């Protein structure tokens, strides 16, 4: 037992050290403030470049994406602005400023496709997922998982009946698995993307000569289903499928990150 605790402590220490090492890689805060200064001076292009530099160094935060979204918005790049606000929501999903600016930017978008009807249950799950960051979701899974272990030990100590034990464990395990599923689906959902080009055309086939299928406008949310060379097969919120150039859309969670 003592050995197990020692191993657990060593693993936790290793993880903590890893996080601390990541924090020591650079000082992104300085660049962040530089970007803010450029923004306040009205030099939005420079602000964008500075914020993007922080991202290229491998750091991100909700405030960084939010300010980047503001800069893109002021620089009349609506698609990139909406993309940045959506990314900011991944880090600070309950921030009212992000939601407000995102709503305003969306109102400026010419995108008019109406989402497909979804079931009540799916809407609840989607709203719940939008409410939490992936880290928060992971910690909920961890806590629920710990609770299962505690429940098992308590059941042994208090000699609960077999039926009660099963009910308790099945309930907690179901909640944990459901939460884990939501978390994993949130982390691995790399299909969500935003149209960054002002006016994009979705075609029937991945070819310049293909017939135009429908229009896409900057800021429009789409799902990237697959890529083929320089083309990506996307699905619009209203369910329509089409091929666009990969450069026309940008994923919320890019594959290389």
Partner 1 sequence: MQARWAKILLSLCFFVSISVRAVAQDVSFQASVDRKKAGLDSTIILDLTATGVQNVSPVQLPEIDGFKSRYIGPSTSISIINGQQSSSVSQKYILYPQKTGVLTIPAFTVTIEGKPYATEPIEVEILESAPAEGQDSAAVDIGRPVSLEDKAFLRLEIPREKIYAYERLPITIKLYANNISLTDIQFPVLSQGDLVLEDFAKPVQYQDILNGVSYDVVEFNIAAYASKAGTVTVDPAQLDCNVIYKRADRRSSMFGGLSDDFFNDFFGSYEKYPVTLKSGSRTVEVLPLPEGAPPGFGSAVGQFNFEASASPLEVNVGDPITIKMTISGNGDLKNVELPAYKDSENFKAYDPQIKQQGNAKTLEQVLIPKTEKVVHVPEASFVYFDPQKEAYATIRRGPFPLTVHPAQQGKANIIVEGAQDKAVAPETFGRDIIFIKEKPGAFYSLSVLLADVKFFAAFLFLYAAMIVAVLVVFRKNIRMKTDVGYAKRLRAPQKAKEGLRAAEHYLKAHKQKEFYDTAYKVLQKYFAEKFSIPEGMVTSYDIQGILLQRNISLSMVGKVKELFAVCEMVRYGATTSDGVAMQKSYQALKEIFDFFERI
Candidates 160-168, 208-216, 224-232, 244-252: pick the segment binding partner 1 (CB under 8 A): 208-216
Count of Cβ atoms closer than 10 Å to residue 67 Cβ: 21
Residue 74: CB partners within 8 Å, gap ≥ 6? 39, 44
With contact defined as beta carbons under 8 Å apart, do 244 and 137 qualify?
no
Could you say which of 92, 140, 160, 173 contacts partner 1 (CB under 8 A)?
A: 92
- Alpha-carbon distance 15 to 156, whole Å? 32
Cβ closest to partner 1, residue 24 vs residue 229: 24
Cβ closest to partner 1, residue 154 vs residue 167: 154
C-alpha separations of 108 from 43, 152, 166, 232, 256 in Å = 22, 54, 54, 25, 30
Site membership for partner 1, residue 213 (CB under 8 A): yes
Site membership for partner 1, residue 141 (CB under 8 A): yes
Candidates 4-12, 124-132, 162-170, 227-235: pick the segment binding partner 1 (CB under 8 A): 4-12
Residue 229 C-beta: closest distance to partner 1, Å: 23
**Residue 63 φ then ψ, to 5°:** -65, -35
- Alpha-carbon distance 47 to 220, whole Å? 24
Site membership for partner 1, residue 142 (CB under 8 A): yes
Cβ closest to partner 1, residue 112 vs residue 229: 112
Could you say which of 6, 15, 124, 154 contacts partner 1 (CB under 8 A)?
A: 15
For residue 202, the 8-state DSSP code is E
Size of the site for partner 1 (CB under 8 A): 69
Q: Which residue has the tokens 């969670």?
A: 253
Could you say which of 18, 94, 185, 247 contacts partner 1 (CB under 8 A)?
A: 18
Q: Cα-Cα-Cα-Cα dihedral of 206, 211, 215, 218, to 10°? A: 40
- The CA-to-CA distance between both ends of the chain, in Å, stands at 39
Q: What is the CA radius of gyration of the chain?
A: 23
In the complex, which residues of this chain contact partner 1 (CB under 8 A)?
1, 4-5, 7-8, 11, 15, 18-19, 22-23, 25, 28-29, 32-33, 36, 39-40, 55, 58-64, 66-67, 70-71, 73-74, 91-92, 97, 100-101, 104-105, 107-108, 110, 112, 114, 116-117, 134-135, 138, 141-142, 145-146, 148-149, 152-153, 156-157, 187, 204, 211-215, 253, 257
């Amino acid at each position: 037992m003592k050995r197990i605790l020692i191993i657990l402590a060593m693993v936790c220490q290793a993880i903590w050290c890893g996080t601390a090492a990541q924090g020591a890689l650079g000082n992104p805060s300085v660049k962040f403030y530089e970007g803010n200064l450029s923004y306040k001076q009205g030099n939005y292009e420079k602000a964008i470049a500075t914020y993007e530099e922080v991202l290229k160094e491998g750091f991100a935060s909700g405030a960084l994406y939010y300010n980047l979204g503001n800069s893109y918005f002021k620089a009349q790049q609506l698609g990139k602005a909406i993309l940045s606000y959506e990314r900011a929501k991944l880090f600070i999903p309950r921030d009212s400023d992000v939601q407000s600016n995102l709503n305003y930017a969306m109102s400026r978008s010419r995108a008019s496709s109406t989402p497909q009807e979804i079931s009540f249950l799916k809407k609840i799950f989607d709203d719940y997922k939008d409410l939490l960051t992936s880290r928060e979701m992971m910690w909920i899974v961890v806590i629920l998982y710990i609770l299962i272990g505690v429940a098992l030990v308590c059941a042994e100590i208090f000699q609960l009946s077999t039926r009660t034990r099963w009910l308790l464990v099945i309930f907690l395990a179901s909640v944990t698995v459901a939460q884990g599923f939501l978390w994993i689906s949130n982390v691995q959902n790399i299909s969500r993307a935003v149209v960054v080009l002002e006016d994009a055309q979705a075609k029937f086939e991945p070819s310049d000569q293909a017939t135009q299928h429908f229009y896409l406008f900057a800021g429009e949310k789409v799902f990237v289903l697959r890529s083929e060379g320089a083309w990506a097969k996307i699905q619009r919120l209203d369910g329509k499928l089409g091929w666009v150039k990969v450069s026309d859309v940008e994923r919320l969670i890019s594959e290389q990150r």
